[in-house]
Amino acid sequence: MVKLTCLASCTAVALLLFVIEPAFAEFQIQEAGIEKGEVELEFRGAYHWGVPQVTDTNENANNLVQSHEFELQMGITDWWLLSVTTGLDQPLGESLRGNAVEIETEFALLKRQGDGIALSFQTGYEQAFNHGAQVDGDANQFGFGPIVELAKGPFLLTLNPLFTKQIGTFADQEGLGFEYGWRGEYDFTKRWGIGVEVFGEIEDLANAGPFDRQVHSIGPTLFYNFGGGDDDAKGGDEDGGKAKAGDDNGKVSRPAPTAFSMNAGVQFGLTDATSDTALKFQGSLAF
């Protein structure tokens, strides 16, 4: 009950604090593990250099200088998770501003024990507040797609393909949009890992345009996990290394009191629509 109250309160505060404009989640990799009653607080931040300008010939350019996202999520059951995300960003030539609130839900379809495959399905809705805009307003957006994890020993591959659809007055897509985040991680100790992450976005698959006018980046990432027992490696349990506590009979009964993880990396732009380099950071606390 306390955790449900916390989730509801934080959601209400997030909706009240920010002036909202829609934007896709930047440098996000969603995991497939869900635990009933577990609450997770997450921060994602990025700072960009060599930021491209939005022009008539490069209208889909990612012109962010910096972004900061705050996410609160809770496992309602062992198969169903809810989350809310809000944050700030700074486009090129503008001030830091509130950028988005998104409500998402995730359903676990296939769980894994140690090595193997985990599969979940995520869907979310983003509401645009245009404050009286008559033309060129921001469309509301709906997103959906699978979360796939492939684990083998200390190696974990996570795939986040996401399809998006603009709806409402200002929608201007002919087809679906597509965003992706893909991560390959190798844990060389129980606490530390290294990996490669790839991110990208195509605003409208029906009018994708040339590759150089799409947003794509790649880069190395360093991972650190703290909390729990001996199974913290990514291939150790069904929840991607999240620690658990057992009862007197050795059965898993509840999540460990706290678990902290973080990662930091550099992304290198692959196209003219992407910033030259970006420094990214992600930290999460689960309890």
Q: What is the DSSP letter of 211?
A: G
Question: Which residue in this structure is represented by tokens 């469309």?
Answer: 139
Name residues whose C-beta falls within 8 Å of residue 145's C-beta, 6 or more positions apart in sequence. Answer: 121, 122, 160, 161, 162, 163
pLDDT at 46: 97
> Which residue ranges of the chain lie beneath pLDDT 70?
1-25, 128-138, 228-257
Q: Please state, in angstroms and rounded to a whole number, the distance separating the CA atoms of residues 120 and 105.
A: 10
pTM to 2 decimals? 0.82
Q: Are strands 155-167 and 277-286 parallel, antiparallel or unpaired?
A: unpaired
Q: Are strands 116-126 and 140-152 parallel, antiparallel or unpaired?
A: antiparallel
Residue 213: count of CB within 10 angstroms of its CB: 17
Instruction: Provide the 3-class DSSP secondary structure of residue 120.
Output: strand
Q: Please state, in angstroms and rounded to a whole number, the distance separating the CA atoms of residues 197 and 218.
A: 6
- From 5, 2, 38, select the one nearest 227 (Cα to Cα): 38
pLDDT at 63: 92
Contacts 24+ apart (CB under 8 A), 61-64: 61/215, 61/272, 61/273, 61/274, 62/201, 62/215, 62/273, 62/274, 62/275, 63/91, 63/92, 64/26, 64/89, 64/90, 64/91, 64/92, 64/275
pLDDT at 149: 97
List alpha helices for the chain, DSSP H: 2-17
Overall residue count recorded for the chain in this entry: 287
- CB-count exposure of residue 257 (10 Å: 0-12, 13-18, 19+): exposed
Output the furthest CA–CA distance in the chain (Å, rounded): 65
Q: Please state, in angstroms and rounded to a whole number, the distance separating the CA atoms of residues 114 and 116.
A: 7
Looking at 6-96, which runs of residues are DSSP E strands? 39-49, 64-77, 80-91
Name residues whose C-beta falls within 8 Å of residue 242's C-beta, 6 or more positions apart in sequence. Answer: 33, 35, 38, 228, 255, 256, 259, 286
Mind listing the domains of the chain with CATH numbers? 2-286 (2.40.160.40)
